[in-house]
Structure 1
C-alpha cells in the first residue's frame, strides 16, 4: 500500500508536500486522478510532478479542459460518444441481460438509445428501470424522455453547470434553449448585443458543455446536456410556463400566447409553428414581455404560411429585442413603433413584408428577407454594422439603394433570383465583401466593379454578355460561377491572372466560343465545369 492503507481527508491534503515525495519518488507508478476540478487539488496531494520516477505515468480525468492545460499534460484525449450499436449493446445488457434486444423490442430500444444521446450513464439507468416492464410502460418512458431528463442523469450532468459563474450559466441556458445548430458568430453577436460578452463561450467548450464544428462553425451540444439545460429552465416554474425565462416547447408557448399571460420574466421564445394550430394574437400579447430578447417563430415543415396571426397595429416587443425571426411574417409592414435599438439579427423569410422602416439599427449585423414581397429597401446607412444581407427570391424588388455600396462591414450580399432587378448601384466599394450572389437575376446585364476582396462571385443565369477586363484584379477570387450565362460570348484573357481561383463553372454557356489560351496558368484551379 503506497499510502500505508490510510485515508487522506480533504482537511489533510497538504500531506502530499512531504509524505508522498518520499514514498512516490522511488517507485514506478500508474497514478489516476479522477474528476479533477482544479489544479490546486493535485498541488495539495503531490505538489509538482518533477520528483516522480520518469517511468511513472499519470492519468487525469476532468470535466474542464482548462484544468488539463494548467497541469501541462503531454496529451489530451477527448472521450467520444459510443457508436449506436455499442450503445444498444450496453442498454440491452441492463434491460434484457443479453447483448441484443428481442425482436419485438428492437424499435423501442433503438428510439431510447437515440434519445439518450448514447451516454453510458443514461443507458444503464434506463435499461435497469425498464427491465421486465411491459411495452406500454416503455412507450410511456419514451414519451417522457423526449421532454424530461431522468433525475440521476440530470444530477450528474448538472455538476458542470453548477461550477459556472452567472454569465456562463446565462449563456449556457440561451444556447441549450435556442442556439444549438446555429452559427457561432451569430451566437457571439447575440451575446454582445445583450451585453453578455461571449468570452464565456470558450469556457463552455472547455467544460465539454458544447462543441463548435470546425467545418461549419456551428454550435453543437449533446442531447442530454441540452435536456439538462432545458430542465433547469423548466424547474424555474413547473406549473406556469409564463414564469420561466425561456420558452421552446410549442404547447407551453401556445398556452401563454392564447391566454395572453406573458410576463417580464420571459427572456426568449422559440416556437415551431408546424406543431401548433392557427392562433390569432391579442394586440397586447407581448405587452408584458418587457425583457424579451429573443423571438423566433419558425416552421420546420417549411409551410409557406404563418400560423401566428397579428392584427394591424399589434405591438411587438422592441426595447430589449436582439434576435427577431418570423417565418412568413403576415403583415405588409412592421409596427410603426418597432424600434429595437439592440437588434442584431432580423430574419423574416417568406414574409408579406413590402417595406422596411427607416429606423436606425446600429447593432444590426444580419438581415434575411429572402422570398419576401419587398419592392424596395430603405437606405442602409441606418444599419452601419451590417455583415450579411440576404434578399434571395425577392421577385418584386426593383432596385438596390446606392447606400448599399457604402456598407464597409458587409461580408455577404445574396440577391439570387431577384428576377425584377435590372441593375446594381454604379458605385460599390464594399471593402469587406467576400461573397456576392447574383445567380438567377435574369434581367441583370452587368455587375459592379470595385470588388477588390471578393472571394466568391456567382453570376449564373444572368444576361451578362461579357466580363469586365478589370476582373483580373480580383486577386482573392476563389470561386467564379457563370453557369447558364447564355449570352456570354467570351472570357477576358485577364481571367488567367486569378492566381487564387479554385473553381470555374461555365456549364450552359452556350454562346461561349472558346476558352482563353492561358487557362492552364491557373495553378490553383481544382474544378473546371464546361
Structure 2
C-alpha cells in the first residue's frame, strides 16, 4: 500500500496503529502526519531512538520504566514456573535473578525461559556463569542499539562502559573531547537511544546489562589475548599484559585496580608497544579500607617510561617514584592527578610543553618540595597542592597562569612565601588555609573580577594591606564583584585594607573579620552580602550603616566577647547567632525582624530590652507572612511542623505581654465563642523558660497542640518543633533562657469548633521546661502599643486598613 493510498483509505476512519520503528523514513512511510487518520484515532510508536519521536512531533512521549521487584518476580515466574509451584531451594535464588536483570523485561523473560523446569543446582550454576559471561540472547538483542550508532557514539559508549560509568558528565566530556570525540551530540544521542542516563547529580549511568554489552564487544576483538584489546579495565587482564609484556598498539586505555595484589612490576618493555595509550589510571578501590596505606608493592625500574604522546588522562594514586620520567612531556595531556605520592619530591625539571594541560592534583604528596616550571602549561585551570606539608617553594611561573581558576594550597605548613599572582586574572578560588608559616599575602592584580572564595584561616598573615588596591573603586566597578566567601577564622590579620572594600555576593565563612580587629570600617560597602561570619573576633562595634546591606540573610557573631551593641540591622536578616557575646548590652530598637528565621542570644547576660523588642518583632513577622506559602509548607510537613520564627535570650520569666502562662510544661485555655473574630487571627506567639540540666547542647524545642471540641473530644492538631536552637551546640547555656516563637495560622484551623486549646512544651538536649505561655496575635485597625505597618504580604482586604497587634483573652 503506497503513501497516497494509506492516507486516502484511512484519513476518514477511526483507527488504532501500533508500530515499532528505528528509522525516520520508515516512520514517515507508515504514519505520515496527524491528518492521515480519522478523528479519535490513536497511533502508538515504539522505538529505540527517542529523537525520532521528537522529529515526528508526537503528542506525548512515555519512557518505559524498569520493573519494580514485585512485578519483576511476577514476570520472571510466568516464564520460569508456568503452572508449577517452585521448590523452596529455587525460591531462595529469586532475589539473585531479579538483581541481575535489574527490572529489564527482556532479561527476565529470557532467563525465565532458560531456567524453566530446572532444579536448584542448575539455577546456581547458571547464575555463576552469568557473573562471568552475560546471556548471549540478551546481549544479542541489546547490541542492536549499539550497532545502530555512529562511530563517534560507539567510542563514547565504550569509554563510558569500560572506564567512566558513574563519573561526572562535565569531567567525562572534557576528557573525551580532548580525544577528538564530539561529546555534546554524542551524549544526547546515547540518551535518546536509552543507552545511558544522566543522574540528578549529573553523573553518567547505564544499565548493568548494557555495560556488559560494551565489555563483551571489547573482549570479542581479541578473545584470547587482552593485550590486543582497545580498553583494559579488569585486574587479571592488566596483570596479564604487564607480566607477559604483551600490550600492543591497539591498547588505548588502562584502568588498573591494585587492590588485593601483593606486588607488581612496571617495566618500560611492558609499555613499549602501547603507542596509542590515551587514558591511564592506576588506583586502589580499597584505599579507605586500608587506612591509606599502600598494600601492593610496586617495582619500577629507574629508567621506567611509557608513551605519552597520545595521553590525555593520567591518574596514578600513590605514584612510587621521586619524579616523573625525565622525558615526560605531552602536548595532549589534559588531566594530571597523582595524589598521596609519598615518594614524590618534584614533578619535572626545566620547561616542559603541556599546552593542553588543565588540571593538576598532587595533593597529600608530603615530600614534594617545590612546584615545577608551569610557563609552558598556559592553559592550566586547576592546581591542587593541598596537604603537601614539605612544599617550600612555588615557582614564579605560577603567577603568570592567566587561565588559572582554582589554586589550593591548604595545609602546606612549610610554605613561607608565595610569588606574585598579579596575572591570575581568572582566579575564582584561592585557598591558603593552614599555611601556618605564610605571613604575607602575595602581590595581586588590580582587577580580580572572578574571585569568589578566599580562605586565609590558620595562616600567619598579619597584614591585608597589600590587597588594598582591590578596594579603590566605585561601588559598581567590581574588583571583587564575585567574592562570596572570605574565611579568616583563627587568622592573625590585624589590618584591613585602608580604603573601601567592595565584596559583592560576599559570604564570610567562618569569619570575615580578623581576630584582632576592633571594628569594621564604616565605609565598607558589601553591597550584595548574603552571609557574614565574624565569630570569635575581638570586634567591639559593627558599622553604623550595616542596615544598608539589604541582601544580608545570615549574620554569625558567636564568641564576639567584646561586642557591646548591635546597630540597626537590615530587614533582610533571616538568621543571626550572637551567642556568647558576653559584653552585648543593646540591640537597636529600630532593628525589626520581618522574615522567618532564628535569632540566638545565648549567654548574652548583659542584654537589655529583649522582652519588649521581641514583642515588636513578633508583630512585625506576623504582618509579613505570606499565608499561601506558609499553608503550603504546613501541609507538606504535617503532622510534624517546623517552627518558622524563634529566638533565645537569657531570662527566667515569660514576657509580660503574654496573658496566658503557666508553671510547668503545659498550658490549657478555655476558648470563648467569639475569639476567632472576623477572621483576623494571624497566629500564636509561644514562649517557654528553659533551665539547663547537665550538658545542655544541641537542644530542640517541641510543642504539641491539642484541642477539645464542644463534645469534649480531644484532637491532636500537630506537633511543632524548633530546630534553630541546634545552633547552640557549641554554646551550652549557663542559666535560664527564654525561648520565644511565632506560628502563623494554618489551613486546617477549625477554631470555631474548639472549646479548649492546650500547648505542651518539651525539650531535648539537657534542658527542662520551667514555665510556658502563649499569646494569640490578631489584626486590628488600631493598636495601643504603637503604629505597626501591616505589610504587603497580608490578604488584600487587610492590606490597607489593618494593623497587627497582640490580643490576649480577658
**Alpha-carbon deviations, 1:160-203, whole Å to 9, x = none?**
11011222212211121111122333323333332333342332
Structure 2 residue corresponding to 1:204, chosen from 173, 190, 198? 190
In the other structure, the counterpart of 1:453 is 450
Q: Which residue of 2 aligns with 1:382?
A: 376
Aligned to 2:307: 317
Instruction: Report how far residue 63 of structure 1 moved.
Output: 1.8
Q: Quick check: 1:326 aligned with 2:312?
A: no
What's the counterpart of residue 55 of structure 2?
A: 70
Paired position in structure 1 for 2:262? 277
Counterpart of 1:304 in structure 2 is 293
Distance, in Å, in 2 between the alignment partners of 1:80 and 1:475 is: 46
CA separation of 1:375 and 1:105: change in aligned 2, threshold 3 A: farther
Distance 1:143 1:513 in 2: 72
Task: Tell me how far 1:388 sits from its aligned partner.
Answer: 1.8
What is the CA deviation profile of residues 205-226 of structure 1, one whole-angstrom value per residue up to 9, with x for unaligned ones? 22222233353x3222222211
Quick one: distance in 2 between partners of 1:511 and 1:203?
59
Q: In the superposition, relative to structure 1, how do residues 91 and 454 fare at CA in structure 2: closer, same or farther (>3 Å)?
A: farther
Question: Residue 21 of structure 1 aligns with which residue?
Answer: 7
2:393 to 393, 399, 411: 399
Larger Rg computed on CA atoms:
2
Q: Is the 8 A contact 1:486 1:511 kept in 2?
A: no
Question: Which one of 484, 487, 504 corresponds to residue 478 of structure 1?
Answer: 484
Q: Distance in 2 between matches of 1:516 and 1:61?
A: 67
* Structure (1/2) with the larger strand percentage: 2
Alpha carbons 2:255, 2:281 under 8 Å: kept: yes
> Pairwise CA RMSD of aligned residues?
3.2
Contact 2:13–2:39 under 8 Å retained in 1? no
What SS does structure 1 have at the residue aligned with 2:375? helix
3-state DSSP class of the match of 2:209? helix
Q: 1:114 to 1:441 in 2, by over 3 A?
A: farther
Structure 2 CA distance for partners of 1:121 and 1:476, relative to 1, 3 Å: same
Paired residue for 2:435?
441
SS of the equivalent of 1:274 reads coil
1:33-84: CA deviation from partner (whole Å, max 9, x where unpaired): 32x2222112112333234345334332222232122112343333333345
Corresponding residue pairs, total: 511
Q: TM-score, normalised by structure 2?
A: 0.58
When residues 368 and 134 of structure 1 are mapped into structure 2, their CA distance, relative to the original with a 3 A threshold, is farther
Partner of 1:497: 526
8 Å CA contact 1:304, 1:328 repeated in 2: no
Which segment drifts farther, 268-277 or 298-307?
298-307
Deviates more, 1:262-271 or 1:192-201: 192-201
Mapped partners of 2:434, 2:326: distance in 1: 34
Query: Which blocks of at least 5 consecutive residues in structure 2 are unaligned?
Result: 472-477, 494-513, 559-810
| Equivalent residue for 2:355, pick from 345, 362, 383 | 362
How many angstroms does 1:510 deviate by? 5.2
Match of 1:7 in 2: none
CA–CA distance in structure 1, aligned partners of residues 128 and 298 of structure 2: 27
Note the 1:398-437 alignment, pairs <5 A. 398-437=392-431
Q: 1:464 to 1:337 in 2, by over 3 A?
A: closer
Aligned positions of 1:133-212 closer than 5 A? 133=118, 137-198=122-183, 199-212=185-198
Q: Deviations over 1:453-488 (max 9, x none)?
A: 123334443344576664784222334444554762
Pair 1:257–1:504, CA change in 2 (3 A): farther
| Matching residue of 2:35 | 50
Aligned to 2:65: 80
Contact persistence 2:11–2:36 (CA under 8 A): yes
Aligned-pair CA distance for 1:354: 1.4
**How far 1:513 moved relative to its partner?**
5.2
Q: 1:310 offset after TM fit, Å?
A: 0.9
- Partners of 2:388 and 2:412 within 8 A in 1: yes
Change (3 A) 1:138 1:27: same
1:528/1:326 Cα in 2 relative to 1: closer, same or farther (>3 Å)? farther
> Following the alignment from structure 1 to structure 2, what is the Cα–Cα distance between the partners of residues 265 and 466?
57
Gaps of 5+ in 1: 1-11
Tell me if structure 1 keeps the 8 A contact 2:80–2:114. yes
Q: Which moved more, 1:50-59 or 1:250-259?
A: 50-59
Q: Which has the larger displacement, 304-313 or 369-378?
A: 304-313
Tell me whether 1:346 sits opposite 2:336 in the alignment. yes
Aligned counterpart, 2:243: 258
Change (3 A) 1:226 1:460: farther
Question: Contact 1:263 / 1:288 at 8 angstroms: preserved in 2?
Answer: yes
TM-score, length-scaled by structure 1: 0.86
1:269 Cα deviation from its structure 2 partner: 0.8
Which structure has the highest helix share of the two? Answer: 1
CA distance in 1, matches of 2:527, 2:374: 32
Find the aligned partners of 2:325 and 2:141 in 1 and give their Cα distance.
46
Partner of 1:462: 459
CA distance in 2, matches of 1:366, 1:172: 24
2:259 aligned counterpart, secondary structure = helix
